[in-house]
Structure 1
Amino acid sequence: MIKTETSKILEIGEEAQEMVGVGMLILFGDQAPVGLREYCLIHDQGQKIDCLSVNDKLVIGDHQYTVCEVGATAVESFNTIGHVTLKFNQTDNLLSGSIHLQEELCEFPDVEDEIAFLIAE
């Protein structure tokens, strides 16, 4: 697998941990709108991804997750504004800006944790 460049978590919104209760984390670049910022993990957008497929991996801090589904606009949105919704161990309908991951969230991320994708060659 090829590791993409990494992004670093800069800020964690006050309500971001509450989103774990519904099985998701929301990533956004530093330009996140004020109304959403409190629910997001704000990152430095240090990476771009060309494509993302089933069985590729997402690494947050020391934990790795397997991609199950990728929404139609998830990669484009991540690359342009740093936004994507990560849904952990979910079976509900895939939204276009979401990435479904097989595992449950192992540990809530911290500021300075890195985010990277491992893409199959």
Structure 2
Amino acid sequence: MAVIYNNKVKSKGALVDSFEGESMFILFGDNAPDTLKDFCYCIDVKNATEEIKPGQFVVIDGAKFKITALGDIAQRNLESLGHVTISFDGATAATLPGTINVEKADMPKLDIGTEISIVTE
């Protein structure tokens, strides 16, 4: 298993739990707009070492979730802004341009220090 992206949650907005029933979370770098900041988990802006694509896995504190779809601008936004939405809906076509869709599953709890990786097998 090769890690192609790795990051950790640095802080979290006051309203991140409001998406709990939606089975999704939003990541953003330090420059999140004020209108979104309260809804985001803050991470450092980092590049992936290769293209992110369906069939790879998002790993959250060791729990693996298969990527089922990827929006057109998801990787670009992740690498330039630290911004991406991870949706646990199992969609096989991207639901939004900036979203990484993963297999339908219960969303794990995120907190400060949570490790988020993207890996390929």
TM-score greater than 0.5 by the shorter chain: yes
Q: Which runs of 5+ in 1 are unaligned?
A: none
How many residues align? The count is: 120
Partner of 1:74: 74
Partner of 1:117: 118
- The change in CA–CA distance for 1:6 and 1:47 in structure 2 (over 3 A counts) is farther
What is the RMSD of the two structures over their aligned residues, measured on CA atoms?
A: 1.8
CA distance in 2, matches of 1:93, 1:79: 18
Alignment of 1:5-16 (within 5 A): 5-16=5-16
Q: Which runs of 5+ in 2 are unaligned?
A: none
CA distance in 1, matches of 2:54, 2:48: 18
Partner of 1:99: 100
Partner of 2:20: 20
> CA offsets per residue over residues 41-65 of structure 1, 9 Å max, x none?
1112344253111110011123211
CA distance in 2, matches of 1:93, 1:5: 20
Structure 1 position 90, deviation (Å): 4.6
CA distance in 1, matches of 2:49, 2:69: 15
Partner of 1:4: 4
What is the TM-score when the length of structure 1 is the normalising length? 0.88
Amino acid corresponding to residue 110 of structure 2 in structure 1: P
State which drifts further: 70-79 or 87-96: 87-96
Structure 1 position 111, deviation (Å): 0.3
- The change in CA–CA distance for 1:51 and 1:110 in structure 2 (over 3 A counts) is same
Identity of aligned residues (%): 25
